[in-house]
Amino acid sequence: MMLNSQQVSAFLFSLVLSVGLLFPLPWAAANVNKIDINAASLEQLEAVKGVGQDIAHNILAYKKDHGAFKSFDDLGKVKGVGKVRLEALRETFTVGSTASPVETSPTK
């Protein structure tokens, strides 16, 4: 049985696609479905397993008092977030833009 070039191409495409689905690249999904801690609402924070109402309020109070989180590890400075909880939340949160509107405006 001889295969033409279109059949070989279709087979190779299917093979690559199948392997990609079976073994997804870790970097490709690194930030998928992560919540930006700097943009999250109270409701979004409360919905995260391990956060709840009190810590969600503490996160927002910390941002109000200290500004945007510059790194994920800054979350450990929030009241109620210890080392264990911080590590448990590492896969849930990401830190988005930390620039304030003043910092992003052009200088004169």
pLDDT tens digits for 11-22? 888 877 776 666
User: 55 by DSSP, 3-state: which?
Assistant: helix
Q: Establish if 82 belongs to a structural domain.
A: yes
The structure's pTM equals 0.61
What is the domain count for the chain?
A: 1
Interval 17-65: pLDDT, tens: 776 666 655 544 455 678 899 999 999 999 998 898 999 999 999 999 9
Please state, in angstroms and rounded to a whole number, the distance separating the CA atoms of residues 81 and 97: 22
Tell me which residue has tokens 């009190």: 54
Query: Is residue 3 included in any domain, yes or no?
Result: no
Beta bridge partners of 36: 94
**Position 51 in a domain:** yes
**Structural domain contains residue 15:** no
Give the chain's end-to-end CA distance (angstroms, integer): 73
Residue 56 lies in domain: 35-98
Residue 26 lies in a domain: no
Q: What is the CATH number of the domain that holds 52?
A: 1.10.150.310
In a domain? residue 60 = yes
> Could you tell me if 55 and 80 are in contact, meaning their C-beta atoms sit under 8 angstroms apart?
yes
